[in-house]
Amino acid sequence: MKVGLDVGGTKTDAVAVDDAGAIAGRIRMATGWGPDAVTQTVVDAVRALGVEAGVDLSAVRSVGVGIPGQIEPGTGRVVHAVNLGVDELDLARMVTPQLRGVTPRLGLPVQVENDVKAAALGAHALHARNGSPAPGSMAYLNLGTGIAAGIVSDGVLWRGARGTAGEVGHISVDPNGPLCRCGQRGCIEAFAGGGAIAERWAQRSALPVRDVFDAADQGDPSARQLRAGLARGVAAAVRVLVLTADVDIVVLGGGVTALGERLMTDVAAELSASAEASPFMRSLHLTDRVELLPPGSPAAALGAALVGAEGDATHDAEEALVHG
Amino acid sequence: MKVGLDVGGTKTDAVAVDDAGAIAGRIRMATGWGPDAVTQTVVDAVRALGVEAGVDLSAVRSVGVGIPGQIEPGTGRVVHAVNLGVDELDLARMVTPQLRGVTPRLGLPVQVENDVKAAALGAHALHARNGSPAPGSMAYLNLGTGIAAGIVSDGVLWRGARGTAGEVGHISVDPNGPLCRCGQRGCIEAFAGGGAIAERWAQRSALPVRDVFDAADQGDPSARQLRAGLARGVAAAVRVLVLTADVDIVVLGGGVTALGERLMTDVAAELSASAEASPFMRSLHLTDRVELLPPGSPAAALGAALVGAEGDATHDAEEALVHG
């Protein structure tokens, strides 16, 4: 049994995955704010899997945590998880001793991964499980406040050299485009990031991107422009992922994909327009290669569990080394 | 001993690589035009390695060929090698029987790979050999008539799902940019491809890109615009490669890099300008991560030899299967 947690800006999704890869239990809870509360959330979520979802915590061999921040390679240290109020947190080291009160197993290995990378791994696993032919390679494109992707090839996460793999959100596709919070102009994220759209829409709303779609349907010119920019940015990200990493399919997920078919229709139209103009783009059949992660999918938490299991393998090897 | 050939539009570069990885012999010859002549060039080049460079052909265990075209995955079939007058050619199958008259070994395995992908593998091997710390991952960005890249991670070539890995030349970075031969507007190749620049310069010249640089130095406004576009396109390709595949370094090669430091200065200025505007881009230290392949480097032929050796391993396994 392995546990995986997706620690989001507001909610944490936790799953227990059995040895056959099936989800044996799942709970959701609010995420705390700041380093201590985030650490506590992780511990509480593992405990809740036992108490609320009836998972046998003594059978858990690893914990994986996906978190929206940069992870220092080879450590469990999180930096710049702004949406969680975390500037710096040695999450794996903080969580491990506290888990001793929750599970009987001493020194349960805890791995931490960027949430989008974890979701990519989980989306790949779910894809294979759904009976579809398992793609040789896949990109998971997360459309949230910001935009980033994770790339999985032959079931292995592409981690890259310095932690910027899949950071397609900050590729500029228009020198005259809107100013991005990163300082460049015309970044994919400046067109299609939920945060950037909300800021430019400038009307207080709980669901600003949905409002933009609704207002565009009613003919509001600035909403139409923002909505067109969203499709344009997503289509550009899809092209970048296919033309650079040559992934078989691109799976869209994240908060903005709650728009479902309304979003997909716009993106498909944008991809079709470039296929119309270019025989080369047409030969790529991009519209057939973009998929939507189903709403409520446990991809991120499942992927975190898979990352955690990598830690379990290392842990076993280390134990073997120490204990012979 | 393994042989590698880089079959270019005008010249073919052939090397023999010994078991320690050192280049034991090298020859260059003109490339023929059309399927039969290209096949003959490959056979002649292997023969010339023996006759002219004194390589012991009886010790050769594999032949690898890099060629500017699409290669059907898992076969030695070349399609659309326009610069060689080849629409379709089953190169491996055509070459194998003819090599029997050249080397004593029967059924020498012949592997074919796209030339840019082969060069990426070779550039990676040369980098490791030059005493520099071997990069964990590298992109080789070929600046020739067109623009494409090869990505190598942990010494392994990223082949992708459908043959478009590294096709960054056809990523659009400006919706109002020049029309690309692919039909889109503002492709990286439309800004920075040697062919696109020559076409827009529209003055007959053997070295159009060099002419553009010279004329720009003398203040010609259209030359200055083309020259700025070249730097802009190359810088965009570097950003795409780092932000998608997160390669440690990007090595520039291909015909246009004959401009050497003049090109590098322009590209560095362009990368510095975006670092100036964006703390995020600044954190990537891109100017330190771009390198120039030395002129006359055998990277592509060496890489082809490495690809050929992969075929040798498969061949050995198959022979073991057949002969027990």
Q: What is the pLDDT of residue B295?
A: 86
Interface of A with B in 33-72 (CB under 8 A): none
Choose between B291 and B128: higher pLDDT. B291
Q: pLDDT tens, A278-291? A: 999 999 999 999 99
Q: pLDDT tens, B44-68? A: 999 999 999 999 999 999 999 999 9
Choose between B151 and B295: higher pLDDT. B151
Quote ipTM for the complex: 0.92
Residue A139 has pLDDT above 80, yes or no: yes
The fraction of chain B above a pLDDT of 90, given in percent, is 79
User: Is the domain defined by A2-114 classed in CATH 3.30.420.40?
Assistant: yes
Residue A324 has pLDDT above 50, yes or no: no
End-to-end CA distance of chain A: 24
Q: Summarize the confidence of residues A117-145 as an average pLDDT.
A: 87
CB contact (8 A) between residue A175 and residue B174: yes
Q: What is the dihedral of CA A53, A58, A64, A65, to 10 degrees?
A: 50
Q: Summarize the confidence of residues A216-233 as an average pLDDT.
A: 97
The amino acid sitting at A197 is I
In this prediction, residue B105 has a pLDDT band, given cuts at 50, 70 and 90, of confident
Are B287 and B271 in contact by the 8 Å Cβ rule? The answer is yes
User: What is the CA angle B16-B21-B25, rounded to 5?
Assistant: 25
Closest CB from A183, A246, A277 relative to B278: A183
Residue B286 has pLDDT above 60, yes or no: yes
The fraction of chain A above a pLDDT of 90, given in percent, is 79
The fraction of chain A above a pLDDT of 70, given in percent, is 95
Closest CB from B161, B241, B246 relative to A247: B161
Closest CB from B167, B170, B244 relative to A168: B244
Interface of B with A in 269-298 (CB under 8 A): 274, 277-281, 284
Q: Summarize the confidence of residues A102-112 as an average pLDDT.
A: 86
Task: Answer whether A73 touches B (CB < 8 Å).
Answer: no
Task: Answer whether A157 touches B (CB < 8 Å).
Answer: no
Query: What's the fold here for domain B2-115?
Result: Nucleotidyltransferase; domain 5 (3.30.420)
Residue B28 has pLDDT above 90, yes or no: yes
Choose between A193 and B83: higher pLDDT. A193
CB contact (8 A) between residue A164 and residue B278: no
Number of residues assigned to chain B:
324
Q: Summarize the confidence of residues B177-189 as an average pLDDT.
A: 96
Alpha carbons A118 and A40: distance in angstroms, whole number:
21
Question: Are both B2-115 and B118-292 of the same fold?
Answer: yes
Q: Residue B150: name the closest of B299, B2, B35, B256 by CA.
A: B299
Residue A262 has pLDDT above 80, yes or no: yes
Query: What residues in A contact B167, CB-CB < 8 Å?
Result: 243-244, 246
Residue A90 has pLDDT above 60, yes or no: yes
**Domain boundaries, given as residue ranges, for chain B:** 2-115, 118-292
Query: What's the fold here for domain A118-292?
Result: Nucleotidyltransferase; domain 5 (3.30.420)
Q: Summarize the confidence of residues B287-309 as an average pLDDT.
A: 95
If you measure CA to CA, which chain B residue comes closest to A166?
Answer: B244
Task: Answer whether A248 touches B (CB < 8 Å).
Answer: yes
Are A149 and A168 in contact by the 8 Å Cβ rule? The answer is yes
